[in-house]
């Protein structure tokens, strides 16, 4: 059993029992306490048990376009591929087929909590809620809002966008695992009226917020032209109460100024590192060390379809690798495996509460891994983890749990 209660600290328990009650970890013990003798025990022998992964940024609607158009940069990629694909989600039957496949792949890859952009389409968003509720994993799902600077097929009427969002919130249902999140796509596709309205909804319903920030240099220049009064990109969101007034995720944060880093820290915003996406679209490399040294909380995201895989293992490895090759002095010391693993588990899990660790009081989100990668080798548990992360795949994950319940996966 391996987990990271702190960013620089792996904790290892060999030959031990992970005990949970009502989906919450109560203790880890080398012997089974008497009070649990009559309870069901799942014996995974010498397998590796780790926390489930937490994906803080991805686009369910872009599942079918993974790998497409990745010779382009962000704005051209959106216009030539992404917006066309997302327009198809007005059709509920298409949405069901994509979202079912997306959910299965999320689970297959060992992700037990995920934060999702859907599309502007209210009914398709309802279908995604229903699918993830049935699958039994934790999620925040955002109905995307966009009312300008986008194709007509995706351009919402501002008042209707806000009305649809509020109606969805009010009729969401009572599943504590799958919850709503306010989701302006990004500043350039949002009018000032829309941003103001979304900020009010976040405050009214005490809902978290997600969006994109400083991903691409052309995007940043565009924001400066659209919102000259705000001077800095992050101040657009801040001005409209969408930047830490409730829990907030900002994906990418690649080209961040010192003022922006200070704003992120002071507002308690979580920066989400999406290395696959940033490499594929030639956006740049998040200066993770600079953010960490400034006491900014950083999580990881797969960001499909700009990212080409829903594997959080791949995301954490890529985060380590790009931190080793960046020539930007701001990137500083490379990430360690412990730091990246923490980001993919407890670091990101904090957005969901006590998630991503096996400390008492945390949700029992767990993966059982059979590394099977070095026949005859007498590896320690930590060495097994290292080898799984760098050379394993979803095929090595034999069981998945969220809130103490085993998650089924289609074969």
- What pLDDT was estimated at residue 278? 98
Number of H helices, E strands in the chain: 15, 18
- What pLDDT was estimated at residue 378? 82
222-231 average pLDDT score: 95
- What pLDDT was estimated at residue 410? 81
Give Cα 383 distance to the centre of its chain.
26
> Looking at domain 53-352, which CATH architecture does it have?
Alpha-Beta Barrel (3.20)
**Residue in the block written with tokens 């101040």:** 235
Where do the CATH 2.30.40.10 domains begin and end in the chain? 2-51+357-406
- What pLDDT was estimated at residue 300? 99
What's phi and psi for 261, nearest 5 deg? -60, -45
Task: With a cut of 80, say whether residue 179 has pLDDT above it.
Answer: yes
Where do the CATH 3.20.20.140 domains begin and end in the chain? 53-352
Q: CA-based angle 132:107:346, to the nearest 5?
A: 95
- Band the pLDDT of 38: cuts 50, 70, 90: confident
Measuring CA to CA, which residue among 399, 362, 404 is closest to residue 45?
Answer: 399
pLDDT for 390-399, tens place per residue? Answer: 999 999 999 9
305-312 average pLDDT score: 98
Measuring CA to CA, which residue among 205, 221, 213, 219 is closest to residue 184?
Answer: 213
What's phi and psi for 184, nearest 5 deg? -70, 130
* Pairing assessment for the beta strands 397-402 and 405-406 based on DSSP bridges: antiparallel
Measuring CA to CA, which residue among 232, 249, 114 is closest to residue 184?
Answer: 249
Measuring CA to CA, which residue among 180, 213, 182 is closest to residue 197?
Answer: 182
d(CA 36, CA 38): 6
Element (DSSP H or E) covering residue 279: helix 275-280
d(CA 366, CA 351): 17
The more confident residue out of 371 and 351 is: 351
Task: With a cut of 80, say whether residue 150 has pLDDT above it.
Answer: yes
Asked if 343 and 359 count as a contact pair (C-beta separation under 8 A), the reply is no
Task: With a cut of 70, say whether residue 331 has pLDDT above it.
Answer: no
Q: Report the percentage of the chain scoring pLDDT > 70.
A: 99
Burial class (CB in 10 A: 0-12, 13-18, 19+), 152: exposed
Among 36-50, 67-81, 107-121, the least confident range: 36-50
pLDDT for 250-298, tens place per residue? Answer: 999 999 999 999 999 999 999 999 999 999 999 999 999 999 999 999 9
* Pairing assessment for the beta strands 9-12 and 2-6 based on DSSP bridges: antiparallel
pLDDT for 378-387, tens place per residue? Answer: 899 999 999 9
What's phi and psi for 237, nearest 5 deg? -65, -40
> Looking at domain 2-51+357-406, which CATH architecture does it have?
Roll (2.30)
- What pLDDT was estimated at residue 332? 77
- Band the pLDDT of 136: cuts 50, 70, 90: very high
Q: What is the 3-state secondary structure (H, E, C) of 347-395?
A: HHHHHHCCCCCCCCCCECCEEEECCCCCCCCCCCHHHHHHHHHHHCCHH
d(CA 313, CA 213): 24
Average pLDDT, the chain: 96
d(CA 83, CA 111): 26
Measuring CA to CA, which residue among 233, 343, 249 is closest to residue 288?
Answer: 343
- DSSP characters over 218-254: HHHHHHHHH-GGG-SHHHHHHHTT-SSSS-EEEEE--
113-128 average pLDDT score: 98
Task: With a cut of 70, say whether residue 330 has pLDDT above it.
Answer: no
d(CA 301, CA 354): 19
Task: With a cut of 80, say whether residue 340 has pLDDT above it.
Answer: yes
Contacting residues for 300 by C-beta, under 8 A, at least 6 apart: 54, 55, 56, 272, 273, 274, 275, 312, 315, 316, 319, 340, 343, 344, 347, 348
Measuring CA to CA, which residue among 372, 354, 371 is closest to residue 363?
Answer: 354
Both tokens of 22, joined, read: 């009502």
- What pLDDT was estimated at residue 210? 99
- What pLDDT was estimated at residue 37? 87
β partners of residue 50: 367
- Band the pLDDT of 46: cuts 50, 70, 90: confident
d(CA 162, CA 158): 6
Produce one character per residue of 346-369: b if its CB has 16 or more CB atoms within 10 Å, e if not. Answer: bbbbbbbeebbbbeeebbbbbbbb
- Band the pLDDT of 377: cuts 50, 70, 90: confident
């Amino acid at each position: 059993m391996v987990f990271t209660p702190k960013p620089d600290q792996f904790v290892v328990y060999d030959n031990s029992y992970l005990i949970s009650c009502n989906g919450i970890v109560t203790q880890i013990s080398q012997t089974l306490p008497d009070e649990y003798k009559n309870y069901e025990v799942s014996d995974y022998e010498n397998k590796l048990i780790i926390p489930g992964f937490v994906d803080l940024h991805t686009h369910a609607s872009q599942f079918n376009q993974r790998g497409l158009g990745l010779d382009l940069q962000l704005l051209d990629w959106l216009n030539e591929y992404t917006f066309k694909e997302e327009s198809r989600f007005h059709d509920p039957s298409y949405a069901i087929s994509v979202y079912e496949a997306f959910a299965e792949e999320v689970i297959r890859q060992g992700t037990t909590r995920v934060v999702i952009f859907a599309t502007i389409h209210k009914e398709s968003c309802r279908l995604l809620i229903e699918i993830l509720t049935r699958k039994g994993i934790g999620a925040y799902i955002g109905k995307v809002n966009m009312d300008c600077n986008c194709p007509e097929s995706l351009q919402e009427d501002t008042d209707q966008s806000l009305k649809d969002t509020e109606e969805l919130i009010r009729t969401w249902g009572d599943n504590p695992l799958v919850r709503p999140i306010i989701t302006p796509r990004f500043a350039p596709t949002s009018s000032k009226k829309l941003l103001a309205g979304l900020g009010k909804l976040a405050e009214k319903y005490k809902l978290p917020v997600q969006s994109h920030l400083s991903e691409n240099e052309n995007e940043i220049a565009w924001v400066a032209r659209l919102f000259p009064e705000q001077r800095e990109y992050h101040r657009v969101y801040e001005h409209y109460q969408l930047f830490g007034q409730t829990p907030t995720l900002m994906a990418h944060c690649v080209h961040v100024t010192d003022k922006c880093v200070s704003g992120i820290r002071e507002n308690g915003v979580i920066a989400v590192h999406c290395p696959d996406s940033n490499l594929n679209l030639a956006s740049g490399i998040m200066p993770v060390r600079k953010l960490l040294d400034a006491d900014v909380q950083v999580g990881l995201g797969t960001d499909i379809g700009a990212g080409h895989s829903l594997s959080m293992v791949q995301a954490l490895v890529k985060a380590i690798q790009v931190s080793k090759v960046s020539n930007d002095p701001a990137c500083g010391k490379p990430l360690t495996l412990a730091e990246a693993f923490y980001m993919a588990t407890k670091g990101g899990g904090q957005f969901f509460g006590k998630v991503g660790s096996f400390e008492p009081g945390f949700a029992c989100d767990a993966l059982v891994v059979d590394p099977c990668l070095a026949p005859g080798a007498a590896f320690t548990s930590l060495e097994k983890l290292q080898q799984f992360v760098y050379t394993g795949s979803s095929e090595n994950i034999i069981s998945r749990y969220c809130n103490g319940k085993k998650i089924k996966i289609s074969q």
